[in-house]
Amino acid sequence: MEINGKTRVCGLIGNPVEHTLSPMIHNTLAEILGHNMVYVPFLVEPGRVAEAVTGAKALNLLGLNVTVPFKSDVIASLDEIDDLAGNIGAVNTLVRTESGYKGYNTDMEGLYRAMTGEGIRLDGEQIILLGAGGAARAVAYLCAVKGAERVYMLNRTPGKAQTVAAEVNRTVGREVILPMATEEYGKLPEGKFLAIQGTSVGLAPHVDDVIISDDSFYEKIHTGFDLIYSPWETRFMKLTRAHGGRAYNGLKMLLYQGIIAYELWNRVNVSEMDARIVYEKLKGCFIDAD
């Protein structure tokens, strides 16, 4: 790709950013679609996110993605915030406006596209959500707004699950999220569940770790969706499959959060065919990908 005087710059702000796959997503899309745009990682020191946004504005950057640890802190530096992102309390995408940047949360919509693409439904579902951190909070909100019947939110620190549940339930106006301690999984009701793994347990290099290892838990799962994509198949996924369930990793969530950000920056729709090209390229980064 030729970089010239008209090239627009997008990027990722976070800490760390060295292992990000986002440049592959955006630079591949720019190449396929013929956009004069380049995407680069920017390492931002803790406490300096406001300066980073001011600098981005001064440099007229087209857009930014935001990752750990700035997804909440960045909100104070925005001119506008999308309703969904405001309700979740986390922003992962900044889009240039005349006066500054508008914040969006494409993680949640990305997860939804990834799930619907696999034929996974949320409406009317009984869901087990493992975790109550930043990602799980967004997932809880997604499940609630998409009509889940009940979401059992299990977390190591039950107080955090209680706080998230109370906030999400208040926002959506119904008691849909039920907080529990992880070790209380034996108290889950009878039936089969969609289980979404939203903790960082099992993330590489700790690939043998799993949040719950008891077989009886996996007998309850018809579909397991792990937000982790490295390793390609987490132990949570292996246990789900070993008990007859379908299992998915989080790479398509990553793919679609990127695609939605790209669509917002460039005001285009990315076709499923182009999404597939990017996905295959991302997959090539995982030696154990099936």
Question: Is 187 an annotated catalytic residue?
Answer: no
Residue 131, number of CB atoms within 10 A of its CB: 26
Q: Which of 78, 106, 250, 259 binds ligand NAP (CB under 6 A)?
A: 250
The answer to whether 135 contacts ligand NAP (rule: CB under 6 A) is yes
Residue 70, number of CB atoms within 10 A of its CB: 25
Q: Which of 28, 77, 155, 223 binds ligand NAP (CB under 6 A)?
A: 155
Assign residue 90 a region (left: φ > 0; alpha: ψ between -120 and 50; beta: otherwise). beta
Q: Which residue is nearest to ligand NAP (CB)?
A: 133
- Spatial neighbors of 205 by CB under 8 A, at least 6 apart, are none
Q: x/- site string to ligand NAP, residues 225 to 244, per CB under 6 A?
A: --xxx---------------
**Across the beta sheet with 37-43, what order do the strands follow?**
37-43, 8-14, 63-66, 93-96, 101-104, 80-81
The answer to whether 193 contacts ligand NAP (rule: CB under 6 A) is no
The answer to whether 221 contacts ligand NAP (rule: CB under 6 A) is no
Per CB under 6 A, which region of 48-56, 78-86, 200-208, 216-224 contacts ligand NAP? 200-208
Q: Which of 85, 254, 261, 282 binds ligand NAP (CB under 6 A)?
A: 254
Per CB under 6 A, which region of 30-38, 56-64, 72-80, 250-258 contacts ligand NAP? 250-258
Q: What is the DSSP track for 227-262?
A: S--SSSS-HHHHHHHHTT-EEE-SHHHHHHHHHHHH
End-to-end Cα spacing for the chain = 31
- The DSSP 8-state label assigned to residue 76 in this structure reads G
The answer to whether 133 contacts ligand NAP (rule: CB under 6 A) is yes
Question: Which residues are near ligand NAP by CB under 6 A?
Answer: 68, 107, 131-136, 155-157, 160, 198-201, 203, 211, 227-229, 250, 253-254, 257
Active centre residues (catalytic): 71
